Structure 1
């Protein structure tokens, strides 16, 4: 019973992490870990989560503290002191022995164009904070983006500063994630090509004009889609609804206008990259078609 009470006290005394500590170390479960105090002082005292006598197997020698057989009760905030003066702080975590796999975390990324920016999301209910960055095979990487979760769901907006939209994509981009709970640490890397995750925004400026018995339609690429249009082509899918409720699709490439012979009551449009990702953009809003005026009988 005393052992159980001690374990509960140690676990509840740990500080809940809402951001990455300025300095932290990760160790393996049941292995020794050495923590060093960054100071010129020869002798220091240590606390764990503010407790002067932590319930953990510790050996101190000068500026060095050794945790014998790291376990969950031994994780937390280790601080070294010279009297009442705080010298240094290190947050100690255990490397997760059974981290959720990429499939279990449901990691997905999406880009709206070839501009080097993308959005990623994942699930990890047992972790409280993540940080993410993009990495290239040549060793270059972006700055860390810190991500706080909500109900175990994490979303990050990332920018690859070395991305070139005109260069051939020979090597996949890497998404590197590091996550913390109050006492555990995970890290993993996901590889993908930008061309495989591109989903354009909906086309814009869809207009419908009636010209006699025909409908003339025109539109523009999404504002986020890169230029020039001759290089970054788009395949369009026009959908229109007939008066009887039937919906008809037409795929169009190399044009941003067309004429319809059929009588439609509303139209909308989508697009995708014709050479890479097969993912269509969301539909634009329905555009209602002006009802054709009926000619009355001739008067004699």
Structure 2
């Protein structure tokens, strides 16, 4: 499932951070930001990114430092010192204001309350995410792995009940960080809208009464009982001329095979909710299952 979210992605950055700083402060572009040193010392000195660099837009007073008109060069790691002793550190970033569209794709393999989301955000080096569960409680922040500008993470709602109607959507809150900018957004969705089953399994071809029959089993990850979590199956045949023909079956796990077909594969989906089909199973060759020669008659 693709969720289109309005995001801030126009601020370029070096990808220096690998995790969220313990103490983070977000300010608006061109607005003043006050950073406070968590100490009992009355007078401290400040460094920005490890360098003692007095600037006209920085005003120090006691345990506070005011950044006048926060901009990208002023973002970074602010540390306060008593002589050579480090007292406190605050990472200051700019809340982004230039918005673009970004696709967030979330997918669940069944109704067990677990799912996986992925997205691309090349301008940001690290993300974290937190799930608001179906019972209203908050999950812990989850560090999101990133590679080549792509991010993905798995989540689970232990309070999710597969037999109950989903009355309220889940909420997934994401925060992204670069060395100088910050974004925050929330996506809302129902599990029923992002379910994509795994392929059916255990495909077997049997000959009975002069005809071939295909049998299969639901995906191992699909919940039980079958009577409650029925599946719609789609069989796709490849014919001798290379054409393909489809057949649809609901709630069944066996069918006689189409005469003359060379091979068959099968997919499935929830007929009552998500319209997304599972990936196809591997093709099953039917030529080798047919009897050959007079002795087989």
TM-score (norm 2): 0.89
Residue 253 of structure 1 is matched in structure 2 by 250
State the Cα distance separating 1:53 from its structure 2 match. 2.0
Task: Tell me the distance in 2 between the aligned counterparts of 1:55 and 1:208.
Answer: 78
Residue 21 of structure 1 is matched in structure 2 by 21
Residue 41 of structure 2 is matched in structure 1 by 41
Does 1:91 find its partner at 2:88?
no
Residue 168 of structure 1 is matched in structure 2 by 165
Query: What does residue range 31-180 of structure 1 map to in structure 2 within 5 Å?
Result: 31-55=31-55, 57-100=57-100, 104-136=101-133, 139-180=136-177
Task: Tell me the distance in 2 between the aligned counterparts of 1:25 and 1:261.
Answer: 66
State the Cα distance separating 1:54 from its structure 2 match. 4.1
Q: 1:242 to 1:43 in 2, by over 3 A?
A: same
Pairwise CA RMSD: 2.1
Structure number with the higher strand fraction is 2
Does 1:207 find its partner at 2:204?
yes
Is the Cα–Cα contact under 8 Å of residues 266 and 286 in structure 1 kept in the other structure? yes
Tell me the SS of whatever aligns to 2:294.
coil
Q: Which has the higher contact order (CA 8 A, sep 6+)?
A: 2
Task: Tell me the distance in 1 between the aligned counterparts of 2:66 and 2:124.
Answer: 26
Q: Mind listing any 5+ residue stretches in structure 1 that lack a counterpart?
A: 1-10
Moved over 4 A (4+): none
Task: Tell me the distance in 2 between the aligned counterparts of 1:171 and 1:226.
Answer: 21
TM-score (norm 1): 0.88
**Greater CA deviation, 244-253 or 111-120?**
244-253
Length, aligned pairs only: 283
Tell me the SS of whatever aligns to 1:105.
strand
State the Cα distance separating 1:38 from its structure 2 match. 1.5
Q: Mind listing any 5+ residue stretches in structure 2 that lack a counterpart?
A: 1-11
Task: Tell me the distance in 2 between the aligned counterparts of 1:187 and 1:35.
Answer: 21
Is the Cα–Cα contact under 8 Å of residues 142 and 161 in structure 1 kept in the other structure? no
State the Cα distance separating 1:15 from its structure 2 match. 8.3
